[in-house]
Amino acid sequence: MTVDFSPDPSVAELAQRTARFIRETVLPLEKQHKGVVHTEAIRLELQRAAKESGVFAPHVAAELGGHGLDMRGRAAVFEEAGYSLLGPLALNIAAPDEGNMHLLEAVATAEQRERYLRPLAAGEIRSCFAMTEPAPGAGSDPNALTTRAERVPGGWRIDGRKWFITGADGAGFAIVMARTSGAPGDRGGATMFLVDSDNPGMKTVRHIETLDESLFGGHIELLFDGCVVPEDAVLGEVDEGFRYAQVRLGPARMTHCMRWLGIARHAQDIAVARAAERELFGSRLADLGMVQQMIADNEIDIAATRGLILRACWELDQGGSAAQSTSIAKTFSAEAIWRVVDRSLQICGSLGVSGDALLGRFLREVRPFRIYDGPSETHRWAIARRVVRRYETGAGSQGGKGGAA
């Protein structure tokens, strides 16, 4: 079997154009704003420039103004966009909007696509995905879902509390997970609802202060108090929300990995440039064995991360769940990317911890990735559980193939 890791020529060309756009247009703004912006004017400025450069929305269908890339194609382009903290925002591939577009393309009705997906894909509005709840509600265990939706004349009433809802501040709508049958802890029984931001029953409680700051719209606590939505606000089928969540979560984990891999490469480039220029003890940093080891270990982590992402993306493109491969790739990537940024900061010494380089900001941004999209410990538990299950059913290791969730 022939194995070719090179992207299609059209994808490679788009990735090259994206790299140029990031370096020429986005990085100057990143440096000016220290990697963090939360104003609509800058978001729109970046996205307008991306459209003019022909690199906007690489992930959505051409009919929606995008390039229609599959997961492997996205891997090449998203990595280049992720070289800057502002790159994903510019290309309209930042979380949670990118994952929501993927979900809406797969599940939404024609009317819902026109009302929600089309303006979202164009960057006219933003969105959020409201599943996580304060303890003891849904988190790493989505079956703990406590927010409820009850039928009322003409639609549904949603009541509950959500927290850590990324991008909720200023979002045009939310995709809300609520329990429509069963009790917290039961498998199944969840439904997805499309809730417009002007619904008086959806209220912002507070901004949650977090280690990271670059995700547009922050991390918000929301209250659903008598939030009434019409029947056509149901996304997909009633009681099938957990199944639809899998449509979103696997690909979204991989696109997170792609974007943060770009930041790891950026950190490595900063460190290598510093090591090649800085002289200590009569030689360049780059000629010292301990620094060479850190540079080499960074390259190994970057290459291994890219390989695991491509493997998982290949499985997703084949139409499989890729549950095992995405868990493996997400767990390794989150920890490897942290190691790369941490080593890069160490190589740069006082420069690394100063505000003159963005490595401190990168470190704060990538650390939560070991928790977001499932903590490393949860993924390891799931990985081991699948391996044991294969053994018990006599399937063996299957050469590392991804198994069902």
At 280 the pLDDT is 85
C-alpha 302/C-alpha 215 separation (Å) is: 23
Please give the average per-residue pLDDT across 208-223, as a whole number. Answer: 97
- Check if CATH label 2.40.110.10 holds for domain 127-235: yes
What average pLDDT does this structure show over 373-383? 96
State the average pLDDT over residues 227-233. 98
Domain ranges of the chain: 9-121, 127-235, 242-400
Structure tokens at 117: 């997906």
CB-based contact 71:251 (threshold 8 Å): yes
CATH code: domain 9-121 is 1.10.540.10
Contacts of 227 (CB under 8 A, 6+ apart): 157, 158, 159, 195, 199, 201, 202
Q: How confident is the model at residue 402 (pLDDT cuts 50, 70, 90)?
A: very low
Tell me what the mean pLDDT of segment 29-39 comes to: 95
Convert the pLDDT of each residue in 316-375 to its tens digit.
999 988 999 999 999 999 999 999 999 999 999 999 999 999 999 999 999 999 999 999
Residue 195 pairs with which residues in a beta bridge? 174
The string of pLDDT tens digits covering residues 183-196 is 999 999 999 999 99
pLDDT per residue over 267-286, tens digit each? 999 999 999 999 988 899 99
Which residues, 6+ apart, have CB-to-CB distance to 34 below 8 Å?
355, 358, 361
Tell me the per-residue pLDDT of 100-127, one tens digit each, with 9 for 90 and over: 999 999 999 999 999 999 999 999 999 9
Instruction: Encode pLDDT of 47-87 as tens digits.
Output: 999 999 999 999 999 999 999 999 999 999 999 999 999 99
Q: Which CATH architecture has domain 242-400?
A: Up-down Bundle (1.20)
Largest interatomic CA distance in the chain: 80
